[in-house]
């Protein structure tokens, strides 16, 4: 796989050494057991896969290249390039400004842009409508487009099956940048509707079977369907694609469920007449990171720490997986570990940062699981490891354990 020119301060000598040795021993990526660093009374259990993925490294390389190649021009990001506060802050320090926030709210006026400006498209991609807005300004969006190739793969698959006469059902968070982009590209070719979870998929099924009146659809899925959506016609032939950062198992579960609903209702002689096969739209990095967490959870531990931006969808799903088994703390950086008795972390259920006392059990050895989202630099993971070792008095032991991998 291609290597990228990413700023060295995002790299970690410890994590890189571990990843390289694990990769050499498991080239087909079939081993999802974690790596255990034995630092005396502290044992750090690292997921087999975590951190920057192909799409994120590609985006970072392009964004920093855009800055370097245009020293005398204004450089803008359409929105956050990736969901990592540190990386976005680095870009802002270099003078990059955001045009809108992650929800699509404008942070400046389009009138402020000129044809001389540089605009970087984020890794999530963007809508066809926003691409047109930029071109109307004399700005070519594809010049510094960092859209993840695996997001584009979803778009291409949606276009193909859309032109084959299927309606696209998108599993994603309706207000997420990637979902908005995928919805825009999809509806350009066919009727499209977004479902955020299995509950909404089950609700959609009631319109497929006729259990709910068609006129109720417009209210129940407001803002989540394409213009002119015809419930009676457009739900007869469907295909499911996803926001690539969702739980892969949930996307597959939704697809399998809707497929069975179609089979039971229409009883087609050939399932392909009513349901498109879209298994190939699942992102490899999302799959690997989630499988690695599931493999890590087979090991006994006292708590889990998941590192990433609080608005990161893929990171939030890693948190959800860990929460099923043990106390889990979602943190954005090492500074969240204020002391051995106090941690600041994000609560997915209340969507607020909170503080928890006495999060580290008094036991030996203390076993802590660690993973991170796809937009989290390995250097940040290393700093969290070092902070945990510092708080438990095992800094020297961690250095010794890490040296065995280098």
Spot the catalytic one: 57, 131, 177, 178. Answer: 178
CA–CA distance, 339 with 135 (Å, rounded to integer)? 51
Q: Is 227 a catalytic residue?
A: no
CA–CA distance, 354 with 92 (Å, rounded to integer)? 27
Q: Which residue numbers are catalytic?
A: 178
């Amino acid at each position: 796989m291609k290597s990228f020119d990413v700023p060295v301060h995002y790299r970690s000598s410890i994590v890189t050494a571990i990843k390289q040795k694990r990769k050499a021993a498991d080239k087909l990526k079939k081993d999802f057991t974690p790596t255990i660093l034995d630092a005396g009374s502290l044992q750090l259990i690292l997921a087999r896969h975590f951190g920057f993925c192909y799409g994120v490294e590609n985006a970072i390389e392009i964004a920093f290249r855009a800055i370097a190649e245009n020293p005398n021009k204004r450089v803008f990001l359409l929105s956050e390039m990736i969901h990592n506060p540190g990386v976005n802050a680095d870009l802002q320090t270099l003078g990059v400004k955001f045009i809108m926030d992650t929800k699509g709210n404008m942070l400046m006026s389009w009138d402020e842009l000129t044809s001389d400006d540089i605009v970087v498209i984020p890794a999530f991609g963007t809508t066809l409508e926003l691409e047109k807005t930029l071109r109307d300004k004399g700005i070519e969006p594809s010049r510094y487009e960092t859209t993840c190739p695996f997001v584009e793969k979803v778009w291409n698959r949606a276009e193909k099956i859309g032109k084959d006469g299927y309606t696209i059902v998108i599993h994603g968070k309706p207000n997420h940048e990637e979902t908005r982009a995928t919805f825009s590209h999809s509806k350009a070719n066919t009727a499209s509707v977004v479902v955020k979870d299995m509950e909404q998929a089950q609700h959609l099924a009631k319109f497929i079977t006729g259990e709910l009146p068609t006129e109720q659809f417009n209210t129940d899925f407001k803002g989540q369907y394409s213009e002119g959506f015809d419930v009676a016609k457009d739900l007869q032939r469907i295909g499911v694609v996803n926001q690539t950062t969702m739980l892969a198992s949930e996307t597959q579960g939704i697809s399998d469920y809707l497929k069975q609903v179609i089979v039971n209702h229409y009883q087609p002689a050939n399932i392909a007449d009513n349901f498109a096969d879209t298994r190939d739209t699942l992102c490899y990095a999302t799959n690997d990171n989630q499988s690695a967490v599931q493999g890590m959870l087979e090991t006994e531990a006292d708590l889990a720490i998941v590192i990433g931006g609080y608005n990161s969808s893929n990171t939030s799903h890693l948190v959800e997986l860990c929460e099923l088994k043990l106390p889990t703390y979602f943190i954005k950086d090492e500074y969240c570990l204020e002391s051995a008795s106090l941690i600041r972390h994000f609560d997915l259920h209340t969507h607020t940062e909170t503080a928890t006392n006495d999060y580290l059990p008094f036991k030996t050895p203390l076993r802590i699981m660690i993973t991170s989202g796809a937009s989290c630099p390995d250097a940040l993971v290393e700093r969290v490891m070092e902070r945990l070792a510092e708080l438990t008095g095992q800094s020297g032991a961690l250095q010794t354990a890490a040296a065995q991998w280098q």
